[in-house]
Amino acid sequence: MPPTTHRRKKISQKELRAPDELTTLVDSARDFLVNNLTQVLISTAVVVIVGATVIGVYYYERHRDIIVSARFYDAITALNAGQNKLAETQFKQLADEEPGRRLGRLARFYMASAYLADGDLPDARDSLVAFLAEERDPLFRSLALANLAVVYERMADWKKAAGAYQQAAADPGPEQARASLGVARMLAKSGDKQGAIAAYRSFLAAHPFAQQRQDVMESLALLGAPAELPPPPSAAAAGPQPVAVH
């Protein structure tokens, strides 16, 4: 039986150094942790505090939103029930206490409606002016401008009423047709007969099937002007057929 041969493995210098390097790395990490323990603890605490603060603020704001929504609903309910004084008070408190929230800003719009329903024109005007100074939503701006024009009209300030109606009519929306008629009406009241006639005719051209069509024709008749009406679509092929109203 041949003798057993033992082959001795040669250990490299890198392998000999490996334990020392591992020990050195562990020692360095330990020394770093010990030397910077205070800073590490402070950093961890800051992260925890900031996270807790953000979560706390989030839930606090959601809680405030719920409260504000409930108050806004109560004010709307009072307004719809004809309790104008109560609605005025509730909307004013909401607007004053929550100016940074959407419902707080909208409260000024509905507060003006309560004032208007109660016949308090100066306060209605001031509420709408304050609302329009901050509002950017086209729909609510159009509604607010139309309401402001109504306030000025009731205050017999034809010039300011015409300006507010003009702005409301410039934006597409549910108040555009009514605002366009308001412009013509204010021009007539202020003595600008030709301007009123032109505005009424422009309305007929832009809104040939409007419900207010008959009223416009009567207004033109009172101004002594014929309503040059466009033909209906079915008769468009036959050419223009103006109709005079006296």
Sign of the torsion angle spanned by Cα atoms 63, 89, 123, 161: positive
- 120 and 143 co-located in one domain: no
- Select from 135, 159, 179 the last residue of a domain: 135
Residues 6+ apart with CB under 8 A from 244: 226, 227, 228
- Select from 65, 100, 135 the last residue of a domain: 135
Global pTM value: 0.67
Q: Is 89 in contact with 120 (CB distance < 8 Å)?
A: no
Q: What is the pLDDT of residues 58-69, one digit of tens each?
A: 565 677 889 989
- 61 and 116 co-located in one domain: yes
- 130 and 169 co-located in one domain: no
Is 20 part of a structural domain of the chain? no
- Select from 92, 114, 135 the last residue of a domain: 135
Q: What is the pLDDT of residues 96-129, one digit of tens each?
A: 999 889 999 999 999 999 999 999 999 999 999 9
Query: What average pLDDT does range 136-144 have in this prediction?
Result: 91
Q: What is the pLDDT of residues 169-187, one digit of tens each?
A: 988 778 888 999 999 999 9
- Cα–chain center distance at 51: 31
Is 33 part of a structural domain of the chain? no
Q: Which amino acid is at 136?
A: R
Is 25 part of a structural domain of the chain? no
Q: Which domain holds residue 47?
A: 38-135
- Indicate the number of domains in the chain: 2
Q: What is the pLDDT of residues 41-52, one digit of tens each?
A: 666 666 666 666
* Sequence-ordered alpha helix ranges (H) in the chain: 13-35, 37-80, 84-97, 102-117, 121-134, 138-154, 158-170, 176-189, 193-206, 213-222
Is 27 part of a structural domain of the chain? no
Instruction: Decide if pLDDT at 246 tops 50.
Output: no
